[in-house]
Amino acid sequence: MRIIKSIQNRIYQIRGERVMLDRDLATLYEIEPKVLNQAVKRNIRRFPGDFMFQITKEEFDELRFQYQAIEQTEATRSQIVTLKTGRGSNLKYMPYAFTEQGVAMLSGVLHSDKAIAMNIAIMRAFAEIRKVLFQESDLREQLRQIKERIGEHDIQLNQLYDALENLLDENAGKRKWEERERIGFTIKK
């Protein structure tokens, strides 16, 4: 369960898709990002644009803040968070983002036992996220229905208050002024 939580922390929302970055996948598979990207490029026909895409500089900058919260490992070399100064030390290429289908396709490209086991865990993490999102959407629907009911009740209560006010006004107008019960202080003579 701990590994699934760790994987869920590495799933980002980019372009309306839940994705994982190549560096995170490489860390989980215990390989270098370069090795992962080479395997993908050798099998590029398996990774159409809806399975994998390269993020833009703007998307990268937005992710940088999210990425700082995740524990940095030696495999990622903290490339995304802090860029080293000096020749050849900076990030040269924007990372690739893999959708759930892209991660599933990686299982056909990477054949190590670690990659297979980690791919199963990643698929479980995506399934858990889907389950949570489904439950949230169900809760949203229930809240919407409750709001509608409350709105209907407000209208009905306002109608009741108006009817009561009208009844009280009619009854008060029917009584004569002299017949009304006196309230307040009486002065003795």
What global pTM score does this model have?
Answer: 0.55
pLDDT in tens, 52-83: 999 888 888 887 766 665 444 434 444 444 44
Alpha helix (H) residue ranges in the chain? 2-8, 22-29, 33-42, 57-67, 100-109, 113-174
Residue 87 near residue 28 (C-beta atoms within 8 A): no
pLDDT of 75? 44
Residue 99 near residue 52 (C-beta atoms within 8 A): yes
**Residue with tokens 């939580």, as numbered in its chain:** 5
Q: 55: burial class by Cβ within 10 Å (0-12, 13-18, 19+)?
A: buried
Q: Domain ranges for the chain, please list them.
A: 2-132
Residue 56 near residue 98 (C-beta atoms within 8 A): no
Stretch among 13-17, 31-35, 64-68, 113-117 having the lowest mean pLDDT: 64-68
Looking at residue 152, its amino acid is E
Q: At residue 80, what are phi and psi to the nearest 5 degrees?
A: -80, -30
Looking at the predicted structure, is the pLDDT value of residue 89 above 80?
no
**Residue 53 in tokens:** 């895409």
Report the chain's mean pLDDT, rounded to a whole number. Answer: 77
Helices 33-42, 100-109: axis angle to 10 degrees equals 90
Looking at the predicted structure, is the pLDDT value of residue 97 above 70?
yes
